[in-house]
Structure 1
Amino acid sequence: MTEFRLGSKARDAGYRLAGFDTIGSTNSEALAAAAAGDPGGIWFAALQQTAGRGRRGREWHSPSGNLAASLMVIPDASPEQIATLGFVAGVALNSGLSSILPGGMVRIGIDGADGADGRSRIALKWPNDVLADGAKLAGILLEAAKTPDGRQAVIVGIGVNVVAAPEGVPYPATSLKALGIERSAEDVFEALSDAWVGAFGLWNDGKGVSAILERWRHSAAGIGAPVAISQDGIVRRGIFETIDSSGRLIIRDDDGARHPITAGDVHFGATASARS
């Protein structure tokens, strides 16, 4: 049986938890809770998903031993502010994962995707991924639903490759086990649940968006380096300059023009520099 547990900060903050060995989709469970009138602040965590999904309807591979977790919250914020909850989750994941890395295991990431300080083993990849040594370690998916009383519920879905990573995917993937880190999905979830409390508190129903974005930038992969964004078959290349106050990726092209990007698949380093 699974032994998922909330961290002490999460328990003190009143979060609740439903843990599973196997589930179809933790996001689906959280959506159902919202539709049933749950007041929010509840995590759904599982060791395996059989019907997980990622961004743009893609399948999310989650074999037994990896972490699938979804949090349902009902924030008192505008739709524009709610859209930045993915950055809150990224900051929380970065903090939680970093807290369980063994000491002395920090090095530059591969493919030019190291952190802004040039040393971080864990780095955030726009818009909703976490990298380790330049390969995808975790992903985030936001979904929305209406509660019976008409409020906006948000599902923050998080998947972490703990024991295995998918192969044959567009962006290289890795797992904690492949990095030599022997921690369980339950350990990762406990660290994440506590880290979320701090990040969500900083966000403060959208009032602290700027502070969250600043923390995200500090741990971002590839700022100042070549980047390529694929959007519906069209590739735009330039230098990843920053993310703006709305969370859009800003790239600078060869002519010096700045372009805001709201969605797309991002590649760094040698992949971004290649011309096709």
Structure 2
Amino acid sequence: MKISRIVVLLLLVSLFSCTKEVLKTKKTYTENAISGKVGILNVCIGKPLQAVLPLLDAAAFNGKMNKLSDQIIDAEREAILEYQVILGNKLVEEFSFEVLSSQRLSDLEGYQEVKNMFHQKESLLTENDNYPILIIGERDVVPFLFNKGKYIQYLTGDIDYSRVLLDICKKLELGGIAINVIHLNVQGVSTFGVAANARLNSSIFLFNDNGKLVGHTDAFSKINGIRGKEIADYQNLLDMYGELTSNALKDMKSND
């Protein structure tokens, strides 16, 4: 069945009940909660969050997206390098931290020992054929052990991982740690999988030198209506990171 451009446009318009950026701060950062240098331990792009329902419509759209998986992964690998710089600059702007990216962390005495001791390569595996690995920077450290690439679930779960972060801060003489986990999020698929809602999700976590969570904001970009056939659809989402990060950190900051 051939669907006209007018019908596609109507489908896209009908999808959008809320197109605004959404910011949800779960832990507000208070002044002086971190004292000293902040190391960006990792900035990570997880596998895309793809629609499940309606079953046939979601399968049709996901099929289009998965055909572009190699190009999406390449775009994410390129983006991750820029994201480290953006996050560092925005942390300086909002909190006046002295920030060390993973590139600068790797120059510190003790860094290689930390990476050898704590980095959990197996946690990066997703068990997904199209998006088999979490995307991180070459020098990033993911010090937690979790399954199927479920990083957000681990960080927000009941496991006490503060000791790991405390040990890393002590070995690298850091006052705190920043972690950022990002996902392409494609939901709200239209009939026949012709179009979908898509946005960029970003969760930023700040920890002090005791490994205690002192700041956490989940941010969701404005919705883009996409047909999903072109890599540009997904690149446009990845390009929203700068503004989204700036707004997320502003929202996390206490106004007291």
TM-score by shorter chain over 0.5: no
Which has the larger helix fraction?
A: 2
Q: Which has the larger radius of gyration?
A: 2
Which has the larger strand fraction?
A: 1
